[in-house]
């Protein structure tokens, strides 16, 4: 696996050399590229389906038919295959660290000891819940409603046992250089409020299984009246869920920016001692906060007082057990899998223990692992070459902004100014996070996990009162993903995504532009989606559209949301067009930016035909193949209710129905199923 991953990075270098030609910051003409391999596995095609009718099925249908989702996975696809390779690479790193931990206090020692402790099943079984007893004893001290603030703060600092809201420190959206305390709704152990409120038979069954799981955990921990506690916990969480905003509303950056003094915060929930909570949570210096859902805080106040302290103790006890289940004896971890794995995701068997251990280590010391990952697998030259391709896509976006027919000069100037201020981060941080203050003791797994959570929390609150550290990353180098950060106005591409199928050494430029080019374009487009566009080039939340242009923009985004809302992947559950709007804009606009960059890279010449496919056709096939995926029904239901991304199958073809070059590439006609009338096609960026 390590050799294959290393080869992947070399592949990235060659592919980048092909597409970038050493030029950063501008598009340029060059000679037509040499004829290379197709770069797409035609064995994955379903030849019985015309590309004009269902491009996702055409490009990936045979793969879907012959591929079985691994028993320990909820989904499987291109991203998952690459993540599996990254996970195997990290496994080698942590195994080596466990065998040869090196100097005491070093990152290698901490990584190795943490992983070795997790794999020491005999010791875990012998200790039982004893290592968790200090937290359970602290919860038992909760006697009155007045004790809630201290109890919630204690849980907040240790992870997993806080109350019906959470606090965090992050960049102030209207002053992006400064950090501020944020307050967010929370407190649920099911994936979303809908899991408590929907009356469909499936959700009724899920709630029944959930109470069974609570009962099982409380029984294993020898807590009194487990079944009664489960019923009371479900009732409490349901009352909280009824007051929460839905996810689509909670992604509205204007609606969720409510800056107020701590005194005003106190007025929202007069029964809760906010100053005590903030002080105990390490945020006592805060004089102002940003409340994301103020009416939720107001509505939850009666719940705080009407719920008996005994029920709050049960609730916090269960949340503590639930958050620690994977580091407790097998009966706890099995119970957690049976509910969260089998019931909610449809898994057939748990993940191998080493994979869970790798995930635990990455969660605790992600950048420390990432530093070793980069040292072992990543070739430094890839950063410069990836940078060249990113800047080619940015240049393509500049061209797009100047050609928009719905945008006036004033807004256009602001959009170009924002694009000019982009920060690009590639592969890994310039400075890795330090873990010197994190204590890892061999033989103390639960204690290590609690200290790791406390370390991460203290690291977060330590940012309060300091300028935003814009050098920090929100993902580790070994993560197969990418992101846009609005307050930093940055796009970020971790090292692990710089491998096939996103880069392919044997593919021509078309496939690489359709794959990684579309990913780059997607992340760039987030700066201009329905929420990202609310920030300026400095990352500050402010209006920079003219009223006329905003109206035109919103008409387009509404049309796109309605398109996706027409699809029903699971009977009774449609894609939530408002929840997924930002990602859908990213897909549509990302394809356009990548395609434009690809065509300009040809220098006015046509790409050669390879295996009967034109360059444009290969571009779209390269795009579709990164979205090949299968998902269990349970996981698909979860995604539709909770995830701002549309399912991969739909990402592979829906944006193409709005994109004119796709129609030309495959001669799509009005009688074809992929056809959308020109007047109904959405073009945003």
- The DSSP string of 639-669 is HHHH-SSPPHHHHTTGGGGG-HHHHHHHT--
The pLDDT value recorded for residue 419 is 97
CATH 1.10.1380.10 fits 144-308, yes or no: yes
d(CA 414, CA 51): 39
- pLDDT digits over 494-513, tens only? 999 988 888 765 667 899 89
Phi, psi at 507, each rounded to 5°: -95, 155
Q: Write phi, then psi, for 347 (nearest 5 degrees).
A: -70, 150
What token pair was written down for 359? 């995930």
Within 13 A of 681's CA, how many CA atoms are on the CB side? Answer: 18
Domain boundaries, the chain: 2-25+45-90+357-433+472-680, 144-308
> What integer is the mean pLDDT of 446-453?
95
pLDDT digits (tens, 9 = 90+) for 623-659: 999 999 999 999 999 999 999 999 999 999 999 999 9
* Cα 84 to Cα 73, 376, 505, 649, distances in angstroms: 11, 17, 20, 20
At 549, which helix (H) or strand (E)?
helix 547-565
Mean pLDDT, residues 152-172 taken together: 90
Write the CA distances from 467 to 41, 459, 463, 544, 581, integer angstroms. Answer: 49, 14, 8, 25, 31
Could you report the per-residue pLDDT of 472-496, keeping only the tens digit for each? 999 999 999 999 999 999 999 999 9
Would you give the DSSP letter of residue 254?
Answer: T
Q: Are 618 and 45 in contact (CB under 8 A)?
A: no
Token couple for 653: 């073809």
Q: What are phi and psi of 180, to 5 degrees?
A: -150, 160
> Within its chain, how far is the Cα of 500 from the centroid?
21
Model pLDDT for residues 282-321, shown as the tens digit of each residue: 999 999 999 999 999 999 999 999 999 999 999 999 999 9
Centroid of chain to Cα 594: 22
Per-residue pLDDT tens digits for 555-594: 999 999 999 999 999 999 999 999 999 999 999 999 999 9
Average pLDDT along the chain: 92
Query: Is 80 exceeded by the pLDDT of residue 12?
Result: no
Which one of the listed residues 523, 529, 549, 658 is annotated catalytic?
A: 523
> Quick one: pLDDT at residue 389?
82
Q: Is 493 helix (H, G, I), strand (E, B) or coil?
A: strand
Q: Which of 76-80, 236-240, 385-389 has the lowest mean pLDDT?
A: 385-389
Structure tokens at 229: 């506690």
Confidence of residue 21 (pLDDT cuts 50, 70, 90): very low
- Tell me the CA distances in angstroms from 605 to 116, 599, 621, 660, 661, one per residue in order: 58, 9, 20, 20, 16
Instruction: Name the catalytic one among 367, 587, 643, 658.
Output: 587
Q: What token pair was written down for 488?
A: 């930093």
**CB–CB of 635/74 below 8 Å?**
yes
pLDDT of residue 39: 79
Could you give the CA distance from residue 159 to residue 316 in angstroms, rounded to a whole number? 11
What's residue 314's pLDDT?
98
- Return d(Cα 115, Cα 245) in angstroms, integer: 39
User: Does the annotation count 587 as an active-site position?
Assistant: yes
Q: Which helix H or strand E contains 637, and what residues bound it?
A: helix 633-642
Domain 2-25+45-90+357-433+472-680 homologous superfamily, CATH:
Collagenase (Catalytic Domain) (3.40.390.10)
How far apart CA 566 and CA 528 sit, in angstroms, is 24
Non-local CB neighbours of 222 within 8 Å, separated by 6+ positions: none
Question: Which residue is it, tokens 């496939």?
Answer: 511
- CA dist 245 and 168 (Å) reads 18
Percentage of the chain beyond pLDDT 90 is: 88
Question: In whole angstroms, what separates CA 239 from the centre of its chain?
Answer: 28
Sheet containing 175-185, strands listed edge to edge, beginning at the edge strand earlier in sequence: 165-172, 175-185, 288-291, 259-261
In this prediction, residue 502 carries a pLDDT of: 85
* Cβ-proximal residues to 44 (8 Å cutoff; 6+ apart), any chain: 59, 60, 61, 62, 63, 625, 628
Out of 4-18, 27-41, 468-482, the most confident range is 468-482
Are 480 and 497 within 8 A, CB to CB?
yes
Q: Is the pLDDT confidence value at 30 over 80? A: no
C-beta separation of 19 from 513 below 8 A: yes
Lookup result for tokens 């937290």: 135
Q: What percentage of the chain has pLDDT greater than the value 70?
A: 94
Q: What pLDDT score was predicted for residue 500?
A: 80
C-alpha to C-alpha distance for 106 and 153, rounded to whole angstroms: 31
Q: Which among 416, 328, 382, 392 is positioned nearest to 126, based on CA atoms?
A: 328
| 83-96: pLDDT as tens digits | 999 999 999 999 99
């Amino acid at each position: 696996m390590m050799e294959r991953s290393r080869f992947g990075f070399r592949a990235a270098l060659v592919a980048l050399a092909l597409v970038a030609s050493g030029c950063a910051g501008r598009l340029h003409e060059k000679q037509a590229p040499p004829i290379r391999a197709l770069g797409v596995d035609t064995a994955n095609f379903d030849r019985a389906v015309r590309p004009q009718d269902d491009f996702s099925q055409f490009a990936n249908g045979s793969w879907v038919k012959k591929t079985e989702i691994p028993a320990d996975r909820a989904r499987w696809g291109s991203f998952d295959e690459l993540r599996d390779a990254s996970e195997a690479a990290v496994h080698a790193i942590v195994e080596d660290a466990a065998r040869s931990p090196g100097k005491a206090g070093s990152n290698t020692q901490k990584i190795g000891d943490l992983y070795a402790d997790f794999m020491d099943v005999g010791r875990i079984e012998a200790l039982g819940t004893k290592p968790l007893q200090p937290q359970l004893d602290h919860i038992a001290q909760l006697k009155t409603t007045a004790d809630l603030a201290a109890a919630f703060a204690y849980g907040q600092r240790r992870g997993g046992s806080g109350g019906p809201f959470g606090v965090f420190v992050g960049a102030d959206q209207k002053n992006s250089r400064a950090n501020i305390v944020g307050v967010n709704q929370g407190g649920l152990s099911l994936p979303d409020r809908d899991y408590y409120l929907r009356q469909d038979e499936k959700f009724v069954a899920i709630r029944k299984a959930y109470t069974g799981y609570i009962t099982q955990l409380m029984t294993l921990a020898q807590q009194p009246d487990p079944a009664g506690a489960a019923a009371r916990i479900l009732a409490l969480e349901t009352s909280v869920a009824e007051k929460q905003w839905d996810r689509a509303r909670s992604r509205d950056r204007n609606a969720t920016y409510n800056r107020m003094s701590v005194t005003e915060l106190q007025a929202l929930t007069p029964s809760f001692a906010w100053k005590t909570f903030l002080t105990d949570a390490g945020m006592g210096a805060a004089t102002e906060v940003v409340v994301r859902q103020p009416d939720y805080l107001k509505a939850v106040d009666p719940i705080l007082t009407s719920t008996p302290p005994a029920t709050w103790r049960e609730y916090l006890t269960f949340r503590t057990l639930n958050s620690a289940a994977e580091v407790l004896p097998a009966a706890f971890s099995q119970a957690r899998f049976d509910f969260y794995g089998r019931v909610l995701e449809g898994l057939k068997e748990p993940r191998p223990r080493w994979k869970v251990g790798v995930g635990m280590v990455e969660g605790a010391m992600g950048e420390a692992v990432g530093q070793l990952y980069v040292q072992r697998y990543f070739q430094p030259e890839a950063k410069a070459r990836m940078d060249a391709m990113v800047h080619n896509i940015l240049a393509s976006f500049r061209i797009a902004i100047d050609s928009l027919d719905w945008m006036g000069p004033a807004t256009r100037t602001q959009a170009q100014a924002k694009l000019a201020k982009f920060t690009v981060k590639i592969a890994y941080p310039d400075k890795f996070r330090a873990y010197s203050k994190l204590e890892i003791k061999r033989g103390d797994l639960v204690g290590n996990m609690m200290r790791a959570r406390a370390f991460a929390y203290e690291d977060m609150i330590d940012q309060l009162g300091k300028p935003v550290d814009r050098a920090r990353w929100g993902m580790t180098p070994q993560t197969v993903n990418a992101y846009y950060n609005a307050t930093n106005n940055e796009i970020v591409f971790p090292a692990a995504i710089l491998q096939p199928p996103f880069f392919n050494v044997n593919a021509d430029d078309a496939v690489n532009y359709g794959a990684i080019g579309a990913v780059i374009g997607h992340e760039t487009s987030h700066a201009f989606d329905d929420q990202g566009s609310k920030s300026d080039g400095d990352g500050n939340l402010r209006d920079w559209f003219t009223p006329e242009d905003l109206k035109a923009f919103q008409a387009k985004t509404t049309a796109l949301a309605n398109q996706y809302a027409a699809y029903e992947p699971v009977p009774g559950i449609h894609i939530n067009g408002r929840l997924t709007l930002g990602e859908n804009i990213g897909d549509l606009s990302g394809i356009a930016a990548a395609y434009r960059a690809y065509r300009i890279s040809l220098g006015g010449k046509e790409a050669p035909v390879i295996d009967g496919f034109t360059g444009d056709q290969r571009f779209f096939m390269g795009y579709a193949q990164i979205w090949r995926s299968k998902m269990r029904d349970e996981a698909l239901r979860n995604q539709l209710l909770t995830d701002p991304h549309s399912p991969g199958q739909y990402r592979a073809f829906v944006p193409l129905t709005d994109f004119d070059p796709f129609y030309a590439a495959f001669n799509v006609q009005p009688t074809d199923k992929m056809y959308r009338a020109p007047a109904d096609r959405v073009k945003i960026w």
